[in-house]
Structure 1
Amino acid sequence: MMPVLPKLTLKEERQELVKKMAMPFKEEPNYLQTKHSFSCFVSRLSAPNVLHCLSVIDG
């Protein structure tokens, strides 16, 4: 029987990604809605994609 590995949630990494994605929109009047949209988008990303996006943003 194959062992079942725990699912990586990457909660802190997801929050960091949302923060970095929403940063350019900080002064916009609909900032909270934009941040919420990014949060929904990031919540659907797989763990490897979250890490890849962070690495691309960080350069």
Structure 2
Amino acid sequence: MAEFGRFANGIYRDYAAVYAACSRPESNGITEGQVNRLKFLKRQMCGRARLDLLRIKVLHAV
């Protein structure tokens, strides 16, 4: 029950953000998808590549 209380308290503190998310038709879904894909590619490469190779891989993944 304590977890639910913390959850409800968080919603209460961020009421303006929750209200805006529920009442506005705009969405960040496409942006979040692109960020998720980029993070996946970075994890997949495990830090083995330089920035130029990561850039090429990202451009070919799109």
The structure with the largest alpha-carbon Rg is: 2
- Relative to the length of structure 1, the TM-score reads 0.37
Q: Which has the higher contact order (CA 8 A, sep 6+)?
A: 1
- Relative to the length of structure 2, the TM-score reads 0.36
More helix, by proportion: 2
